[in-house]
């Protein structure tokens, strides 16, 4: 059993915040900090930016810490860092993927790990839902065309294939985000196809990736970034997509073969809504910035602004569960990482 909360500070676990500079200011409200201070022995305003060469104050806090609360920019928890944290028992990550800082040494030492990936999945799914519905209404093309014409136009005459009635949406990957997208789509009059080699979703037709690409007029990518998913949307899959299909990528740029995609975009045969690219920042002369059939956004589908507070809320909730001796709601295990981001 873990310690239970009471009014005696010595009975509360020591906690240290560890994340990149400025992240905590956007992540936590004062109410979150007050809850952490009530639950744990912590300085809610001490944030460790570098655990590899900590200053004396941070080193002392790390040596006492039973919990690390991490977020973006956290120091990788190598064996050397963990040697400075002999009391550490758990890592609570207030963001999505833990792969950037939770190392094999953490699993070898039996640390428990949890993440706020579920909280971060919601804004990505919301962005995707909006992108799917806008794609069906041809919002990107019609807005650009309207700006060019700036006059009355017979829109009905060129909109025969527009709309979301009975449109086929292909979801690539039954990840947290992929499943959330499917749930958000259920109230709409669309057909949903799913490609995932490991998971089926009740009420959704599972098909091969090639069949999904051939049958869908919107293809939305939600698979994790793994060696096996590198450029999984390749030349063959892109060629199979019907004319006018919209490709949406809110996962990672490496999952799409962008050199193979570009000719389809330049010709206007396909549309794309890309929140991620490979490389993450396209070069200044990339046509992705200016093509009329491409919406390029700077990796903003995930949590930002006030949405960061949702991740903080989940993380603080996990700290509460730890203090009460309960299981984490969103525990991550080493075996999960072979199939997740």
Give the per-residue pLDDT at 341.
64
Helix axes 30-39, 308-323, angle to 10 degrees: 10
Q: How far is CA 161 from CA 7, 197, 269, in A?
A: 65, 31, 14
- Tell me how crowded residue 224 is: count the other CB atoms within 10 A of its CB: 21
Catalytic entry in 108, 158, 200, 280: 280
Euclidean distance between CA atoms 267 and 271, whole angstroms: 10
Biggest distance spanned by C-alpha atoms of the chain: 74
DSSP per position, 220-284: EE-----GGGTT-B-HHHHHHSPTT-EEEE-S-GGGB-HHHHHHHHHTTSSEEEES--SSSS--T
Euclidean distance between CA atoms 195 and 211, whole angstroms: 9
**Which residue ranges of the chain lie beneath pLDDT 50?**
1-9
The residue with tokens 């570098």 is 50
Give the per-residue pLDDT at 1.
37
Give the per-residue pLDDT at 109.
96
- With contact defined as beta carbons under 8 Å apart, do 301 and 275 qualify? yes
Report DSSP state, residue 14.
B
Residue (of 173, 163, 167) closest to 192 by Cα position: 167
Examine the residue annotation and report whether 252 is marked as an active-site residue of this protein: yes
Catalytic entry in 32, 112, 138, 252: 252
Give the per-residue pLDDT at 125.
98
DSSP per position, 130-155: HHHHHHHTTHHHHHHHHHHH-S---G
The burial of 325, by beta-carbon neighbours within 10 Å (0-12 exposed, 13-18 middle, 19 or more buried), is given as: exposed
Examine the residue annotation and report whether 299 is marked as an active-site residue of this protein: yes
Give the per-residue pLDDT at 10.
55
Give the per-residue pLDDT at 159.
61
- With contact defined as beta carbons under 8 Å apart, do 287 and 266 qualify? yes
Q: CB under 8 Å to 41, separation ≥6 — which residues? A: 9, 10, 12, 13, 14, 15, 64
pTM of the predicted model as reported, rounded to 2 decimal places: 0.89
Start-to-end CA distance of the chain, whole Å, equals 30
Give the per-residue pLDDT at 294.
96
Catalytic entry in 84, 299, 309, 310: 299
Give the per-residue pLDDT at 11.
83
Residue (of 53, 56, 61) closest to 16 by Cα position: 61
Pairing of strands 167-172, 218-221: parallel
Examine the residue annotation and report whether 231 is marked as an active-site residue of this protein: no
How big is the chain by its Cα radius of gyration, in Å?
Answer: 23
């Amino acid at each position: 059993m873990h310690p239970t909360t009471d009014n005696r500070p010595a009975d509360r676990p020591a906690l240290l915040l560890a994340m990149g500079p400025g992240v905590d200011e956007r992540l936590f409200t004062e109410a979150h900090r007050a809850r952490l201070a009530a639950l744990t022995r912590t300085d809610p305003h001490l944030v460790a930016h570098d655990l590899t060469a900590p200053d004396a104050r941070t080193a002392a806090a790390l040596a006492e810490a039973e919990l690390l609360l991490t977020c973006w920019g956290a120091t990788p928890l190598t064996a050397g860092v963990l040697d400075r944290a002999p009391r550490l028992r758990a890592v609570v990550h207030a963001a999505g993927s833990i792969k950037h800082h939770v190392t094999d040494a953490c699993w070898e030492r039996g640390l428990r790990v949890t993440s706020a990936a579920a909280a971060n999945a919601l804004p990505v799914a919301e962005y995707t839902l909006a992108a799917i519905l806008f794609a069906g209404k041809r919002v990107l093309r019609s807005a650009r065309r309207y700006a060019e014409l700036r006059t009355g136009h017979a829109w009905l005459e060129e909109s025969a294939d527009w709309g979301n009635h009975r449109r086929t949406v292909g979801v690539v990957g039954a990840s947290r985000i992929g499943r959330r997208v499917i749930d958000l789509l259920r109230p709409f009059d669309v057909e949903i196809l799913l490609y995932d080699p490991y998971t089926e979703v009740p009420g959704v037709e599972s098909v091969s990736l090639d069949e999904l690409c051939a049958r869908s007029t919107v293809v939305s990518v939600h698979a994790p970034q793994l060696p096996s998913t590198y450029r999984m949307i390749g030349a063959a899959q892109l060629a199979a997509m019907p004319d006018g299909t919209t490709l949406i990528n809110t996962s990672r740029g490496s999952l799409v073969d962008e050199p193979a995609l570009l000719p389809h975009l330049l010709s206007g045969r396909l549309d794309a809504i890309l929140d991620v690219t490979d490389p993450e920042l396209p070069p200044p002369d990339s046509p992705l910035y200016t093509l009329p059939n491409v919406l390029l956004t700077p990796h903003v589908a995930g949590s930002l602004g006030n949405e960061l507070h949702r991740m903080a809320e989940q993380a603080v909730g996990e700290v509460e569960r730890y203090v009460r001796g309960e299981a984490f709601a969103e525990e991550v295990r080493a075996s999960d990482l072979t199939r997740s981001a």
